[in-house]
Amino acid sequence: METDRVPLADAAGIVEAIGAGVDEFAVGDHVVSTFFPTWLDCGATNADYARSPGVEADGYARTHCIAPATAFTRTPSGWSFAEVATLTTAGVTAWRALVAEGGLRAGDNVLLLVTGGVSIFALQIAKTMGARVIISSSSDAKLERARALGADATVNYGSEPDWGQCVLELTRGTGVDHIVEVGGLATLPQSVKAVAPGGHIYLVGGLTGFSGELSLMQLIAKQAHLYSIRVGSRRHQQDFVRALDQTGIRPVIDRGFPLEQLADAFRYEKARGHFGKIAITL
């Protein structure tokens, strides 16, 4: 389907002018976009994409824009614009899942699927909070990089298709307390196998698709919690930014592309060779 909508949901920049009645920001402030400009507080709401940049509204693949003040928050101190622009979807999604919804605690076991932006942020958050992290990928090279970031154990789902069983063995049969599930319906049965009784599965993506059937008996038997996570509110983002200022976490950027090579950046993402985030710079 063709569209003339401006793409990109995540952006960071400098305030050049403010409208009447805006007192939260001043000219010269560094800001980062929010995904849901009208979802202000933490309580779950029916996701309204009408104003979501890059979805139903124009995104940020441009040099200037005019938007409501609620379309932005302040940024972590001392970050580059490329680093800041990683927060809006990937970072906030990982934070909301593990911390705001899951109440992650030191000593918890966390399973992360693949090594994209959400999972790598989740790895950093979980390790900073004292959790034990298992991460999966079909690439041994990516798994080695994840270990360098602090992952305690890894599973190659390419060579271990029954990776849920592998996770059970790595946790001595107990399973994991939290799973950031980015795969979708094809991976969910393995996630259900891997989750501990009373554990949490956060549905945040659908790399393998969303349609099909799932047997719920194992999920019910384990009394596990299944959450639907769609990024987060402006308050979630503000809380995350404050946490980043306190913890010193910095995002992992795989590669940057200038705006003129935006199509190449999308092709690179589609090939799924990246580890962490891809940045577009002006």
| Four-way CATH pick for 12-88+232-281: 3.90.180.10, 3.40.50.970, 3.30.1360.40, 3.30.160.100 | 3.90.180.10
Domain ranges in the chain are: 12-88+232-281, 91-228
Q: Provide the CATH topology of domain 91-228.
A: Rossmann fold (3.40.50)
Q: How far apart are CA 167 and CA 149, in angstroms?
A: 19
pLDDT at 1 > cutoff 50:
no
For residue range 9-64, list pLDDT tens digits in order.
999 999 999 999 999 999 999 999 999 999 999 887 777 788 899 999 999 999 99
For residue range 89-126, list pLDDT tens digits in order.
999 999 999 999 999 999 999 999 999 999 999 999 99
Classified as helix, coil or strand, 268 is helix
Query: Which residues contact residue 149 at a Cβ distance below 8 angstroms, ignoring those fewer than 6 apart?
Result: 120, 123, 124, 127, 252
What pLDDT is stored for residue 3 in this prediction?
66
pTM: 0.94
Mean predicted confidence (pLDDT) in 207-223: 79
Query: Which residues contact residue 188 at a Cβ distance below 8 angstroms, ignoring those fewer than 6 apart?
Result: 181, 201, 203, 214
Q: Using CA of residue 178, residue 151, residue 247, residue 274, what is the dihedral sign? A: negative
Equal CATH topology for 12-88+232-281 and 91-228: no
Mean predicted confidence (pLDDT) in 236-261: 96
Q: Where are the beta strands (DSSP E) in 125-166?
A: 132-137, 153-156
Residue 64, classified by CB atoms within 10 Å of its CB into exposed (0-12), middle (13-18) or buried (19+), is exposed
